């Protein structure tokens, strides 16, 4: 039988090893992600610059459309140059607003389809539950070893928190799993 000091040292060693493994994994992820993040940043900046020039070209194109509509109004109607220019600009602006409205409708339809994560929170809950169960099972085995009894004897004799004024044992609790995995 192992002494409580040896078990304590073993548990401290396991805890230290787990912390080291986790910190090493985090460092590895940081090292792998850093170059990718830099490339994403530079690529995003280039797309931003391209978008700026595309928007500038689109603005100029709308002025060309407005001038075309103004020429059309001037040649078809008896409007003055300023009146034709006004109605040409107004028509171009109206077309831009119609296109913007179409994009808004499409965007709203897409936003309505957004759903939050469904499986991830459940999976995380199950993982933490399994981890807690494993820690409890390991702790029970260590306590049984220290007390000199088998793990099954120690766990079955251990009382569970009182419910309705009664103290029950692990075997009476249908929500807990025993060491054999039965419910």
Positive or negative torsion for Cα 110, 112, 114, 118 = negative
pLDDT of 55: 93
Please determine, for residue 173, whether its predicted confidence score (pLDDT) is greater than 60. no
Calpha distance 106→143 (Å, rounded):
62
Average pLDDT over residues 16-23: 86
Long-range contacts of 130-137 (CB under 8 A, 24+ apart): 133/177, 137/179
Please determine, for residue 150, whether its predicted confidence score (pLDDT) is greater than 90. no
pLDDT of 152: 66
Q: In the block, which residue shows the tokens 């249908």?
A: 174
| 115-147 pLDDT tens trace | 777 777 777 777 777 777 777 777 777 777 767
Average pLDDT over residues 32-42: 85
pLDDT of 116: 75
| 52-77 pLDDT tens trace | 999 999 999 999 999 999 999 999 98
Range scoring the smallest mean pLDDT among 41-50, 93-102, 106-115, 173-182: 173-182
Positive or negative torsion for Cα 32, 33, 34, 35 = positive
pLDDT of 180: 44
Cβ atoms < 10 Å from Cβ of 88: 22
Instruction: Produce one character per residue of 17-26: b if its CB has 16 or more CB atoms within 10 Å, e if not.
Output: eeeeeeeeee
Please determine, for residue 174, whether its predicted confidence score (pLDDT) is greater than 60. no
Which uninterrupted H or E stretch holds 178? none
Average pLDDT over residues 8-35: 84
Calpha distance 178→142 (Å, rounded):
15
Please determine, for residue 3, whether its predicted confidence score (pLDDT) is greater than 80. no
Average pLDDT over residues 81-94: 91
Tokens matching residue 58: 């689109």
pLDDT of 126: 77
- What contacts 151, CB < 8 A, 6 or more positions away? 140, 141, 144, 145, 179
Average pLDDT over residues 7-14: 82
């Amino acid at each position: 039988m192992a002494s409580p000091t040896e078990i304590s040292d073993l548990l401290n060693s396991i805890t230290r090893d787990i912390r080291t493994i986790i910190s090493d994994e985090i460092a590895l992820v940081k090292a792998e992600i850093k170059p990718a993040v830099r490339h994403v940043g530079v690529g995003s900046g280039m797309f931003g610059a391209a978008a700026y020039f595309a928007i500038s070209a689109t603005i100029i194109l709308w002025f060309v459309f407005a001038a075309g509509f103004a020429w059309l109004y001037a040649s078809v109607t008896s409007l003055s140059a300023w009146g034709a220019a006004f109605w040409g600009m107004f028509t171009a602006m109206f077309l831009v607003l119609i296109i913007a409205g179409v994009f808004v409708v499409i965007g709203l339809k897409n936003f309505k389809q957004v759903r939050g994560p469904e499986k991830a929170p459940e999976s995380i809950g199950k993982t933490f539950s399994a981890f807690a169960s494993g820690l409890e099972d390991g702790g029970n085995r260590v306590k049984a070893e220290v007390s000199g009894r088998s793990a099954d004897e120690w766990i079955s004799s251990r009382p569970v928190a009182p419910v309705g004024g009664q103290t029950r044992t692990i075997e009476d609790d249908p929500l807990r799993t025993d060491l054999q995995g039965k419910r």
